[in-house]
A and B are shown apart, each in its own frame.
Chain A
């Protein structure tokens, strides 16, 4: 079974620049939810159910470091679609569709959302474009019937749901699916020998323009410094009038 794992290079959510707190250039990492997807693909392979794991990302050569990290975790080979534009989920999903059509995986596993954009759309759009079954916010995956079906547990607002999908399908991962492995230098060294294929949109046969434009980005107002209150009445007054939260 071949698994395709799309992943995105995002600013490190642990870095101060993520919240706009520091001016220095921020570090990039693999989107944490995509990391979970990669980890799941690795575990599926470790159980003997998958034979090839292919990673794909879209970006400029600067994202090669994240590709190396994915290869270091255990992804067999990776594709970078060379496109430095600011894309939106609309465009990303259509580019990924072209890659899916080229690679013909049995299942696509990816993070439910990117922690910088937080749109939570790409997997679902991709499923719609391909006409494939989808399972989103998945916390467990099981393959049945000689890997023709997948049984997935989904995390919903009300609790858990179990659905079954015919393969090929799209699965997006939620936080509780697994904890990704830590990769240290030896893994990175081994990853150096794994291939990265660089393709343009043309080469995969897609020509798409993003439909979303970001006009401005701003930080929300800062939290006021802590105040000690002396009584329950004072607390309630402040919560009502100052904080406007009651």
Chain B
């Protein structure tokens, strides 16, 4: 009987890599763990999961599960849990897992802890560390009950090693008739970008008005973002000047971001913009004005000409 069951997320083509980080928590919790894949025509996806150290990859494959409707998926998860006997039901925090896992927890009559960043084992019980108050504080909690549902913050757990001996893929029979029917998938509109989502990205590179035009903005801000695997943001001034689309806008009237690393290129740091980035862990400002307000808020600031510094920076990062 497995100790943990990890829900793996995919986009119908391939596994969503961040969802694998929950496996690391399963490993920390100890005992055997199984992986669960739900969807339709997921052979390739399931096959790619066999070397992650699980005792099996459970697959629930049915046309009725082609789209991630919470009522159906939660029912399937509950059945899989009952079959596997798992005590911990894990997933990585995402809109997918947040939509479905709490409902599964309800059906399992289990408590759930969201966004676990670390665990602590103390005399037989486990406590979980998680962010509260928009990440400005951390709580240490413990839960009671036979089972528990946990989601992890991807950034807090490593990617698991994929060098274990392959495990079997177990097909799970789904009784499509008995699945709930109150929800229907209508359509989807996905951002075509290869870059991560602005509000979830670990690194955000933002540009302001001095970037002159759309091409320069994409070249410098986009170039640096790509070198760092980050997302792109912009100030309102840059958006207004047509350099960036408005869903890149960061600030009081745009998006609020809190990445690990925020790099502000040619941004003076007006109070409206600072409101959108103040919770970033590290802020780097590159600006030609040493008196720009952002220099007071930044962790590091470099004064100089953007057009020389940024290409240098991109080069150095690529080389490293």
Contact = CB atoms under 8 A, between A and B. Distances in A.
Q: Direct contact between A and B in the complex (CB less than 8 angstroms)?
A: yes
Interface of A: 11, 13, 18-20, 88-90, 93, 115-129, 131-137, 151, 154-166, 169, 211-220, 223-224, 226-233, 235-236, 238-240, 243, 245-246
B71 interface: yes
A177 to B, nearest CB: 15
B12 to A, nearest CB: 11
A126 B228 CA distance: 40
Contacts of A132: 182
A124 B70 CA distance: 9
B98 A158 contact: no
B34 interface: no
B76 to A, nearest CB: 13
Interface in B185-240: 185-191, 197, 200, 203, 228
Contact of A128 (B103, B135, B187): B103
B13 to A, nearest CB: 12
Nearest to A97: B106
Contacts of B102: 89, 120-125, 128
B114 interface: yes
8 contacts: A116-B132, A124-B106, A157-B197, A163-B184, A213-B143, A215-B141, A228-B302, A239-B284
Given A121-B102, A128-B74, A159-B189, A232 B133 contact: no
B299 A227 contact: yes
Contacts of B183: 133-135, 163-166
A156 B95 contact: yes
The 7 nearest A-B residue pairs measured at CB: A128-B106, A124-B102, A19-B136, A133-B182, A128-B103, A159-B190, A211-B111
B161 interface: no
Contact of B112 (A18, A89, A129, A219): A89
A121 B105 contact: yes
Interface stretch (B20-28, B58-66, B167-175, B308-316): B308-316
B296 A127 contact: no
Nearest to B122: A215
Contact of A228 (B105, B107, B303): B303
Contact of B114 (A120, A126, A163): A120
A118 B138 contact: no
Contacts of A238: 300
B180 interface: yes
Given A129-B106, A211-B144, A232-B312, A160 B189 contact: yes
Among A136, A163, A213, find the residue whose CB has the most chain B CB atoms closer than 10 A. Answer: A163
Contacts of B11: 158
Contact of A118 (B70, B132, B190, B296): B132
A134 B297 CA distance: 41
A158 B182 CA distance: 24
Contacts of B182: 132-133, 165-166, 169
A236 B320 contact: yes
A164 B186 contact: yes
B106 A161 contact: no
A67 to B, nearest CB: 23
Contact of B103 (A90, A127, A169, A232): A127
Nearest to B314: A232
B104 interface: yes
B97 to A, nearest CB: 10
Given A223-B281, A228-B303, A233-B316, A116 B133 contact: yes
A195 to B, nearest CB: 31
Q: Which of B100, B184, B187 has the most CB of A within 10 A?
A: B184
Contacts of A211: 111, 143-145
Contacts of B135: 118, 220
Given A90-B112, A165-B182, 13 more contacts: A18-B133, A19-B134, A89-B111, A118-B131, A131-B180, A135-B183, A136-B98, A157-B197, A161-B189, A212-B111, A227-B301, A232-B316, A243-B261
A118 B141 CA distance: 14
A212 B251 CA distance: 35
A232 B306 CA distance: 11
A68 B297 CA distance: 38
A239 B188 CA distance: 38
Contacts of B191: 158-159
A235 B284 contact: yes
A162 B190 CA distance: 11
B260 interface: yes
Contact of B113 (A162, A212, A224, A227): A212
A228 B301 contact: yes
Contacts of A169: 182
Contacts of B307: none
